[in-house]
Structure 1
Amino acid sequence: MTTLAPEQQAAVQRRTVVVLSAGQVLGGIAFGATVSLGALLAADLSGDDGLSGLATASVTLGPALCSIPLARLAARVGRRRALTLGNIFALVGIMIVVLAVSLRIFPLLLLGTLTIGAGNAGNLQSRFAATDLAAPEHRGRDLSIVVWSTTIGGVAGPLLLAPGELVGHAIGMPPQTGSYAFSFVAQCLALVLYLVALRPDPLLTAQQLARAAAAVTGIVREDRPVVARYAIFAVAGSHVVMASVMAMTPVHLSHMAHEMHGVQTTPADVSALVGVTIALHVGGMYALSPVFGILADRLGRLRVVLLGQVLLGGALTFAVFANGQAWGVIVALILLGLGWSAATVAGAALLTESSAPELRTRRQGRSDSLMSLCAAGGAVLAGVILSNFQYAGLGIAASVIVVAIVALSPLGRVRAQ
């Protein structure tokens, strides 16, 4: 296929967005279950609560290691095969986790969560797949719809923990692994969905259309490497700010509850406060992503990236000056989620449109890999900063990244040479 009428391309793009969104819902179930259960299983198998964070670190490390290879594979053979390989990674990871719990082998559990994380690299790639055939004026919107659909799987995964235990017990699975039965079925359905319905392949079709257009007009798609590098930095930086502050918020809320004088607080009260705060934060991350996608299309990608920095700056202001009150921390986390959503949606669209087709998938893979690596490192450093300079110090440290993204924003306007 080398030519498509505009209405045909629009129809293919609409179907592609629907398929990718459904795949995100199914693929997110396994990731949501792993995030919820990983720390519990790690603490149980290792016998040390201090090692429970290694499961979360493994899930984060998976996309960091596999995003670039998966993007290169997509550039050669298309999105469909790359996304299905991500599903296969997740399926293998689920089996390894269940085997590790059955055999009580802690390192094997970490290998399983790492492999599930590698599968999540495919979920990250889905948002870029939504832009392959998108019209420039709708690129941000289509990308943000796929991002928004992640919420459903991410929420459904934890909600399936209780019924999963009943199913797992009935079929003889080890304790606390029953929800992975649902995850396994969901990944299988996502794999079949991509193989059957993601046709024609959006990336291969976009590459063919670009070559055909260049052959007819003699015009090669311009490339803006400086803008692309800025977009990668803005996305990674915004992700670090969000991940580092969010990771330490439960710890801060727990300390804050214990330090309250004259108020009786129970572990259940602390858990409820943490749960509400994180739930509102996740809602801020995803609920309005289509709004930010539409704004990025209408106002420009860079303006919405900067809007994200304003929201992140507001979040950090509350984290610094109102961190002693529960409402202040809640407002900070809501703004943190909104700022992340605006910056990452618009930043991903900016990266896509500033990269020539032959370089696009490679840079997208680098962006996902750098984002995951920085988040893992940021979470570790955030713990050190919190223990030495408290929550306010963490807010001040994170604001340095926000200032850097704003200060370097002129690079997001550089035109191609």
Structure 2
Amino acid sequence: MGHKEINSGDNESWLQPYIDSPEKQKQLYKKTLIIVIMSQIFGGAGLAAGITVGALLAQEMLGTDSVTGVPTALFTLGSAGAALLVGRLSQRYGRRFGLSAGFLTGGIGAIGVIISALMSSIVLLFISLFIYGAGSATNLQARYAGTDLAKSNQRAKAVSMAMVSTTFGAVAGPNLVEVMGDFSKFLGIPALAGPFILAAAAYILAGLVLLFYLRPDPLLVTKAISNLKNKAGNRQSEQSIELLPKNKRGIFAGASVMILTQFVMTAIMTMTPIHMGHHGHDLQAVGLVIGFHVGAMYFPSLITGSLVDRVGRAFMAVTSAITLLASGALAAFGPADSMTVLIGALVLLGLGWNFGLISGTAILVDSTSFDNRAKTQGTVDVWIALSGALGGGISGLIVANSSYAILSIAGALLSLLLIPIIIWADINKQQKLEEAS
């Protein structure tokens, strides 16, 4: 499928079967989910394997702790920039082109990290880590591809399936760090560059899976079908298409849910290991708490998706705020030497983030039309990435000048802002309009 075909919403020869047959649309929706899941498994491995040792590699190459925060900062900035570009490429050329380009770019960045380790070039390392961030942005944006052909009552479940599949790769990646380190030493490459070999292979495989198999492109098919129905005089379709771009409140609300939950989650999560260290917990205890937290971020996704579709986006967004409130209160007022309390607080933190990301994504998709959807999604994901970076950065300043309890309380109270935003945007009305169309 060349660019001429991609850019043409009028090429009815390849679209006609999808216009005429709801069954073929359903088949393409299922196929798209399978392809997205495959790419997310690889993408998760690429994300986790590399970022686990990025700071350690910089420390080893420079022999100082002063730059250990730079890799994460570069990675986050690269992710934010790539989110914008992937969104714009997807809007113009389709998901297949935008997502595959993002993953392949991330793979090139990982290869650059390996070369920088061989050359002992810290400048090349930092440039490569910035490029490598494209994989993270693409991994997050791939969740949208499954929603393009989904009906209104399937969208959250489609997002959740992508998130669950990311978990498999994200769990496998860190566990292969030692194995990849031994493999890289066998090849004559510094051990800490080993995980980036896995990251490069995983991102490139994810990109190739999308490039070769995500066709017909779900976003372009859905957009072209709607355009053709509109031209044919389908007034109901025309009205629904015209309604969606005007729902700026819904776009703001969906973005706010994801940005605020990302900020609160990252801020509290970042300082929890420091807080535990101050109260005598060892690294094994820290790993256990963070492990439960990451599990709560992703594993409940299938259930969350079904809940968002069944009980409503607004209800689950408010539930996200309340869950984050409970997490912050437990972290602030619970005994710091209790592993049970810490695990409970971080599980609630991960769960609140999960509720927020899936409900916020569904709200955003509901509130956009095919003409602005991918571009808007990319822009919102930029702010999600930046909010995470800001949350992680500002959390240290808050704790240094006050305490972990103050940070947790602040995060809890900030999450409550979601409730008036959801009420103001009247999300339930937007969901009913979507279901009616």
Q: Give TM-score, length-normalised by structure 2.
A: 0.90
**Among the aligned pairs, what percent are the same residue?**
31
The one-letter code sitting in structure 1 at the alignment partner of 2:167 is T
Other structure's SS at 1:49 match: coil
* Partners of 1:109 and 1:274 in 2: CA distance: 29
* Partners of 1:33 and 1:131 in 2: CA distance: 27
The one-letter code sitting in structure 2 at the alignment partner of 1:211 is N
Q: What does residue 313 of structure 1 align with? A: 325
The one-letter code sitting in structure 2 at the alignment partner of 1:271 is L
* Partners of 1:404 and 1:104 in 2: CA distance: 47
The one-letter code sitting in structure 2 at the alignment partner of 1:326 is M
Name which of 392, 395, 401 aligns with 2:414.
401
Matches of residues 210-359 of structure 1 in structure 2 within 5 Å?
210-216=226-232, 217-218=234-235, 219-220=238-239, 221=241, 222-223=243-244, 224-257=247-280, 270-324=282-336, 325-359=338-372
Residue 323 of structure 1, CA deviation: 4.7
Residue 411 of structure 1, CA deviation: 2.5
* Residue 39 in structure 1 maps to residue 62 in structure 2: no
The one-letter code sitting in structure 2 at the alignment partner of 1:238 is T
Q: What does residue 12 of structure 2 align with? A: none
* Residue 111 in structure 1 maps to residue 127 in structure 2: yes
User: What does the per-residue CA deviation read over 1:125-169, in whole Å, with 9 as the maximum and x for residues that have no partner?
Assistant: 110111001111111101110011111111111111111122112
How many residues are aligned here? 406
Other structure's SS at 1:51 match: coil
Report if the CA contact (8 A) 1:231-1:412 is conserved.
Answer: no
Q: What does residue 265 of structure 1 align with? A: none
Q: What does residue 93 of structure 1 align with? A: 109
Report if the CA contact (8 A) 1:235-1:344 is conserved.
Answer: yes
User: What does the per-residue CA deviation read over 1:185-222, in whole Å, with 9 as the maximum and x for residues that have no partner?
Assistant: 22232222112211110111111111122223132412
* Residue 364 in structure 1 maps to residue 377 in structure 2: yes
Distance of aligned partners of 1:198 and 1:46 in 2 relative to their CA distance in 1, 3 Å threshold: same
* Partners of 1:323 and 1:197 in 2: CA distance: 52
Residue 175 of structure 1, CA deviation: 2.3
Distance of aligned partners of 1:323 and 1:210 in 2 relative to their CA distance in 1, 3 Å threshold: farther
Report if the CA contact (8 A) 1:323-1:391 is conserved.
Answer: no
Report if the CA contact (8 A) 2:50-2:199 is conserved.
Answer: no
The one-letter code sitting in structure 2 at the alignment partner of 1:165 is G
Cα RMSD for the two superposed structures: 1.6
Report if the CA contact (8 A) 1:28-1:154 is conserved.
Answer: yes
Residue 108 of structure 1, CA deviation: 2.2
Residue 326 of structure 1, CA deviation: 2.7
Other structure's SS at 1:357 match: coil
Report if the CA contact (8 A) 1:97-1:113 is conserved.
Answer: yes
* Partners of 2:80 and 2:200 in 1: CA distance: 23
Residue 381 of structure 1, CA deviation: 0.6
* Residue 171 in structure 1 maps to residue 187 in structure 2: yes
* Partners of 1:87 and 1:390 in 2: CA distance: 39
The one-letter code sitting in structure 2 at the alignment partner of 1:129 is A
Q: What does residue 260 of structure 1 align with? A: none
Structure 2: unaligned runs, 5 residues or longer? 1-14
Structure 1: unaligned runs, 5 residues or longer? 258-268
* Residue 207 in structure 1 maps to residue 220 in structure 2: no
User: What does the per-residue CA deviation read over 1:266-310, in whole Å, with 9 as the maximum and x for residues that have no partner?
Assistant: xxx611011000100000000001111100100111111111111
Other structure's SS at 2:221 match: helix
Name which of 132, 137, 142 aligns with 1:121.
137
* Partners of 2:389 and 2:364 in 1: CA distance: 22
